A and B are shown apart, each in its own frame.
Chain A
Amino acid sequence: ETGVTQTPRHLVMGMTNKKSLKCEQHLGHNAMYWYKQSAKKPLELMFVYSLEERVENNSVPSRFSPECPNSSHLFLHLHTLQPEDSALYLCASSRVFGGTDTQYFGPGTRLTVL
């Protein structure tokens, strides 16, 4: 269960703050994902990186900015967020992107925007 780690686990920020979420995978995978989980809604895929290149961007507002410096690390930079952005943000990784490779998830970052 420590294959994918996320920091911080909890984050409270004002609408004018800038913060970053960090994800690290120790599984040797080549694909990494950011998901948003809001109350009473299915998980929403935000971004996908494969071999450090962004391959999917599901109409996410520009106030969310991903970064993948290498295949083991993934960041989500946040700025001028809205209260409706409060949610659990989950990172996942898989061996490759596409097909039926299993995605393994981190513990998530609970984000509250005031």
Chain B
Amino acid sequence: SQELEQSPQSLIVQEGKNLTINCTSSKTLYGLYWYKQKYGEGLIFLMMLQKGGEEKSHEKITAKLDEKKQQSSLHITASQPSHAGIYLCGAVRSGSARQLTFGSGTQLTVLP
């Protein structure tokens, strides 16, 4: 199993629908990052969560950190085709506090 598990691996939604992507760590989290990637391109930083219970929003995207569950969720409200892409979580975790570990990503398709 991966050290940073993302689910689902892929998601297809109709425009206007809400969706949630999860990222779960097997180790204590010190910082959790969400990035978005268009296929074959670089990662665009969305937001970073550090404290348990912390919640941040960027336009229609909201991310939360559940420290007890070692988990973060990314929620998109009223999805649009512009939200399509690969969402990656990255984490600074115990035992590897000097490096960022990434999940495998969630491929999001939004149908018009």
Contact = CB atoms under 8 A, between A and B. Distances in A.
Interface of A: 1, 4, 6, 40-43, 45, 48, 56, 88, 90, 92, 97-100, 102-108, 110
Given A42-B104, A100-B30, A100-B50, A106 B98 contact: no
Interface of B: 2, 4, 30-31, 33, 35, 40-45, 48, 50, 88, 90, 92, 97-105
Q: Which of B41, B42, B97 has the most CB of A within 10 A?
A: B42
B97 A107 contact: no
Contact of B98 (A88, A97, A107): A97
Main secondary structure of the interface of B (DSSP, over half): strand
Contacts, number: 55
A106 B48 CA distance: 18
Main secondary structure of the interface of A (DSSP, over half): loop
A105 B98 contact: no
Given A100-B31, A100-B92, A102-B33, A56 B99 contact: yes
Contact of B45 (A100, A102, A108): A102
Contacts of B101: 42
Contacts of A6: 42
B23 to A, nearest CB: 12
7 contacts: A43-B102, A88-B40, A100-B31, A100-B92, A105-B45, A108-B40, A108-B41
B103 A42 contact: yes
